[in-house]
Amino acid sequence: MRDILEELETRRGEAQLGGGQDRIDAQHAKGKLTARERIELLLDEESFEEFDMFKAHRCAEFGMEEIHYPGDGVVTGWGTINGRLVYVFSQDFTVFGGSLSETHAEKICKIMDMALKNGAPVIGLNDSGGARIQEGVASLAGYADVFQKNIMASGVVPQISVIMGPCAGGAVYSPAMTDFIYMVKDSSYMFVTGPDVVKTVTNEVVTAEELGGAKTHTSKSSVADGAFENDIEALSEIRRLFDFLPLNNRDKAPVRPFYDSQDRLEPSLDTLIPENPNQPYDMKELVRKIADESDFFETQADFAGNILTGFIRIEGSTIGVVANQPLVLAGCLDNDASRKAARFVRFCDAFEIPILTLVDVPGFLPGTSQEYGGIIKQGAKLLFAYGEATVPKVTVITRKAYGGAYDVMASKHLRGDFNYAWPTAQIAVMGAKGAVEILYRSELGDADKIAQRTSDYEDRFANPFVAAEKGFIDDVIMPHSTRKRVARSFASLRNKRLKNLWKKHANMPL
């Protein structure tokens, strides 16, 4: 018996060493943690239960029959984050460069199947050189199996990807189908084809960082939702994000203790909107003053800054926030902002997270680049997402809500539950100057007449009362009472029940 126990301990020790101490040291020299160290930091202490520690590849070609490492380049299992169940896989770059083999894929698929059966999120820590070349099509088949699991899990359990090293070729498509992607600055990158292939095919000279680094994917491509300085910060922030999310689409997000009064008033909000209607202000100030303890977890902060998305809590419950940001492009909706917000709204709706929309939008950004980029369909994505959403929706218009953008931003007409406006709100087809120049084109030569017409238009429409008279605004509220009114609204909607007509799925404007 003692011999068997000793063999077990020996085998466990070998598996925990991955590719060996030299390769572990090389990993550390790059400023990266090992696969197991990452799991230890991500999960609650001593909560990790590992699967398939001894599983090895079956390849017998190109000398592979002589080389076996227990676990085959990925550590899989389950554990808890703040006591809540989660499944995790962590690719081990010290074993065959973390490359994906048939058995490597089987291990990932196994925990994804368990996550679906038990209704728990999946977090993938990616650090892989791609498909294992020695296995050929078997490796590619493994990728496709993982992709299919991602697709089936989408909208059922939250999926989070953390890119902590290379992620290239077919490997990128699994993270791309998850709900959130985070990267580590200077040590992670994603691309379909690497710099050498790009140079051969297109004659472009580009570095791996320029082609697929964290800055590229957080600020240009929008592939990633954020980037962190190092592995430790990344895993700490993923724990924070996890706390905002439900375990599955039939569960509610956790209600956390809060120390902030529902009735808290914020007198400073009464002066948030500048006297000059063209002067910007920071919408994040409003978001934080509505949130419990001013805690705001922003997503895609470096992309499409003219719209804010992220999570707050109100009375301890998770709320998704979408807000125009007047500091960037005056808060206009453009192609990037529409896509960013639409995806976020659809995530919230899939997982029963109520949505708060803060509106200050002068319209859609004009220009040939926007039209050529498909602003019609891009804007329709956000419109479709809001109209399809059945979760509680509360909207507050702080200043401008012009044209079609008024409709798109969670208006009453898209089944908004509570639609409020501040007294400073201006709800109209367009601004007074533009409207007058169209309505009274024949009088453009008379400056005094045009000034009077503009003043008349502003008196009539540069306020929230016409919309309120028609019932499109439920109430005009004082800015300082915004948290109180929003909190009471969401509290009254906790038992909301709304179902769309049965369909296999919608055909949204992709």
CA distances from 115 to 4, 156, 163, 266, 267 (A): 32, 10, 20, 43, 46
Nearest to 313 by CA among 477, 497, 486: 486
Closest CA to 86 of 305, 252, 238: 238
Cα 413 to chain centroid distance, Å, stands at: 26
Residue with tokens 């994906």: 100
Nearest to 157 by CA among 114, 199, 200: 114
Residues 6+ apart with CB under 8 A from 187: 30, 31, 32, 164, 165, 230, 231
Interatomic CA distance for residues 490 and 492, integer angstroms: 5
Residue 366 neighbours by CB under 8 Å, 6+ apart: none
Helix or strand holding residue 399 (H, E): strand 393-402
What's the length of the chain?
Answer: 510
Q: Residue with structure tokens 């590719």?
A: 19
Vertex 69: Cα angle to 66 and 72 (nearest 5): 115
Rounded to the nearest 10 degrees, the angle between the axes of helix 137-153 and helix 102-118 is: 10
Sequence-distant (6+) residues with CB within 8 A of 469 are none
Look at residues 510, 500, 501 and name the one whose alpha carbon lies nearest to residue 382. Answer: 510
State the first-to-last Cα distance of the chain, in angstroms, to the nearest integer: 62
Measure the CA dihedral 12/14/18/22, to 10°. 140
Which are the catalytic amino acids? 169-170, 404-405
Per-residue DSSP letters for 473-487?
Answer: SSEE--GGGHHHHHH
Residue 62 DSSP code:
T
Cβ–Cβ under 8 Å, residues 316 and 255: yes
CB atoms under 10 Å from CB of 281, counted, come to: 18
